[in-house]
Chain A
Amino acid sequence: MESAFPGPGPDAVFAAKLAEGVFEIQKCGGCGRHVFHPRVICPACGSADLGWVAPSGRGTVHARTIVRRKPEKGGDYNVVLVDLEEGVRMMSRVDGIDNDRLAAGLKVTAFVGKGAGGEPAVVFRPQGGAR
């Protein structure tokens, strides 16, 4: 019997796109809402009609924490929650800004950078460049 959900699942599709330097999120054909993280069905309406779209990449820092780490182990780093213009939220990191200037409300732009293990990951920088 043919699967109603052919091919790899949404997590694998997202990861494959990211590995090619492409950041896409899902959009629901049923209710029109954007969805992140990638899912099988829309958490707003239950529809399985989820397609992939490129977000604007623009977002706003919703909350931030600075993880404290000894300098010899690499020093402090930030972890943020970013609200994308499309109405979804994601965890990430902001590069190109001092941690003590990083606060909720900062406008940021996404790019495909590297995560902690060198893997491709969506990272942000301040809109208008580093400061």
Chain B
Amino acid sequence: MSLRGKAAIVGAALAGCGEAHGKTSMEITVEAVHGALADAGVPLHQVDAIATCQPLDMLSGLTLAQELGLRPKFTMNNRTGGSSFLSHTMWAAMLLHLSLADTVLICYGSNQRTASGKLMTALGLPAHEAPYRPLFPVSSYALAADRHMTRFGTTREQLADVAVAARAWAQKNPEAFMRDPLTREDVMASRPVSDPLRVRDCCLVTDGGGAVVMRRAETARDHPKPPVYLLGGGEGTTHRDISEMADLTVTGAAQSGPAAMDMAGVRPSDIDVVQLYDAFTINVILFLEDLGFCKKGEGGAFVGNGGIAPGGHLPVNTNGGGLSCVHPGMYGIFTLVEAVRQLRGEAGERQIAGAELALAHGNGGVLSSQVTNILGTEATL
């Protein structure tokens, strides 16, 4: 039995992106929920299943139910890091398809920028890494980048071009946090953090929240906006700590991507627009390879020289991504919201004309959890 087209996103919203002074993470989350319910035309008390993951609140699903005044039939708190929300959509589709729930809410919010100014996480270093003081999480990604450069000859310039492309998209998005011009030279001259990665290779630290509302296909058209169907989903978990990653150049996206695309019945060349969790520039190169948009080892050339920028051969992270739009710590929900906007034709100056099929991909931990969703318009059913 496949989940293809069994459920759809019928409402989506962002809240508090950038700086949300004086607000708690849960308050930002609930602002996004309020927006997504309004977008869906769904009254709050129709929600009968909820899913969330918040970095510092182990019981955030319970907190969410309390704040919304809900007594949900199902409270999902799957915690795979920034990929969590893309796994939540699959669990939501299962509940909806089995008629165990009728309206599922998936949401997230964080005030990390105004609260702490840095990545807020409950994670500590594992015992067998702590004596060597890797910076969490950037050194883990730096080790993967170093390995990719050693093995495939990926260049510093190619890493920089990922950040440059994200900024070029952000300049088309009025909601993006950083919209100043950014050149390859700017990235390469930015402050080194953990070689080979520099500060402009690293995602932003912002506040922000997002929410989506899902319903089963039979009722998905009973809402103001066109439904965005979940056509396929897949997960891949390979490790928790970077020292335990079997191959630093191959992520779990090599499992999650084919699983999602097989379920959806699509190939990479069918996808119109791609939203990837770009916590660091190397992520985009790894994921494009592992998801099959190019061969292993050719990701650097694929992203180089504007390949994924506006006007390039594949539109990637059209909102500006975690590198230039928004990054409150667990970015996965934002890949979903941007995919929805593109498939509804709501993306303004950055709209990909005729976008029918989108891929949204979340990353959790240190390249540890990979979750892929394929989303499509009614025409793709």
Q: Is B135 an interface residue (CB 8 A)?
A: yes
Contact between A37 and B244 (Cβ–Cβ < 8 Å)? yes
Q: Chain A contact residues: over half helix, strand or loop, or mixed? A: strand
Q: A62 to B196, alpha carbons, bound, how many Å? A: 15
Q: Which of B45-53, B71-79, B123-131 contacts A (4 or more CB under 8 A)?
A: B123-131
Contact between A67 and B139 (Cβ–Cβ < 8 Å)? yes
Contact between B131 and A65 (Cβ–Cβ < 8 Å)? no
Q: Is B40 an interface residue (CB 8 A)?
A: no
> Which range holds the interface residue count of chain B?
20 to 34
Contact between B132 and A63 (Cβ–Cβ < 8 Å)? no
* Whole-angstrom distance between the Cβ of A19 and the nearest chain B Cβ: 13
Chain A residues whose CB sits within 8 angstroms of the CB of B128 once the complex forms: 36-37, 90-91
Chain B residues whose CB sits within 8 angstroms of the CB of A36 once the complex forms: 128
A77: contacting residue among B130, B133, B146, B197, CB under 8 A = B133
B231-250 CB mask vs A (1 if < 8 Å, else 0) is: 00000000001111000100
Select from chain A the residue with minimum beta-carbon distance to B199: A68
Q: Is B21 an interface residue (CB 8 A)?
A: no
Contact between A65 and B146 (Cβ–Cβ < 8 Å)? yes
* Whole-angstrom distance between the Cβ of B40 and the nearest chain A Cβ: 44
Query: Which A80-128 residues have a C-beta within 8 angstroms of B?
Result: 81, 89-93, 103-105, 114-117, 119, 121
Q: A91 to B242, alpha carbons, bound, how many Å? A: 9
Contact between A67 and B146 (Cβ–Cβ < 8 Å)? no
Contact between B195 and A65 (Cβ–Cβ < 8 Å)? yes
Number of residues of chain A lying within 8 A (CB) of chain B: 27
Q: Is B294 an interface residue (CB 8 A)?
A: no
Given A68-B191, A68-B192, A68-B194: A63 touches B146 (CB 8 Å cut-off): yes
Given A63-B248, A65-B195, A81-B243: A103 touches B131 (CB 8 Å cut-off): no
Q: Is B143 an interface residue (CB 8 A)?
A: yes
Q: A103 to B196, alpha carbons, bound, how many Å? A: 12
Q: Is A13 an interface residue (CB 8 A)?
A: no
Q: Is B142 an interface residue (CB 8 A)?
A: yes
Q: Is B134 an interface residue (CB 8 A)?
A: yes
Contact between B143 and A63 (Cβ–Cβ < 8 Å)? yes
Chain B residues whose CB sits within 8 angstroms of the CB of A58 once the complex forms: none
Q: A108 to B142, alpha carbons, bound, how many Å? A: 21
Q: Is A64 an interface residue (CB 8 A)?
A: yes
Q: Is A11 an interface residue (CB 8 A)?
A: yes
Q: A81 to B245, alpha carbons, bound, how many Å? A: 10
B295-338 CB mask vs A (1 if < 8 Å, else 0) is: 00000000000000000000000000000000000000000000
* Whole-angstrom distance between the Cβ of A59 and the nearest chain B Cβ: 13
Q: A115 to B126, alpha carbons, bound, how many Å? A: 13
Contact between B243 and A103 (Cβ–Cβ < 8 Å)? no
B168-196 CB mask vs A (1 if < 8 Å, else 0) is: 00000000000000000000000111111
Contact between A63 and B130 (Cβ–Cβ < 8 Å)? no
Chain B residues whose CB sits within 8 angstroms of the CB of A41 once the complex forms: none
Contact between A116 and B131 (Cβ–Cβ < 8 Å)? yes
Q: A11 to B126, alpha carbons, bound, how many Å? A: 11
Q: List 13 A-B contacts (CB under 8 A).
A: A63-B143, A63-B144, A63-B147, A64-B146, A65-B146, A65-B195, A67-B193, A68-B191, A68-B193, A79-B194, A81-B248, A89-B243, A117-B131
17 extra interface residue pairs, beta carbon distance < 8 Å, beyond A37-B128, A92-B132: A11-B127, A36-B128, A63-B146, A63-B147, A63-B150, A65-B134, A65-B194, A67-B139, A68-B193, A79-B134, A81-B242, A90-B128, A91-B134, A91-B241, A91-B242, A104-B147, A105-B150
Q: Which residues of A contact B (CB under 8 A)?
A: 11, 36-37, 62-68, 77, 79, 81, 89-93, 103-105, 114-117, 119, 121
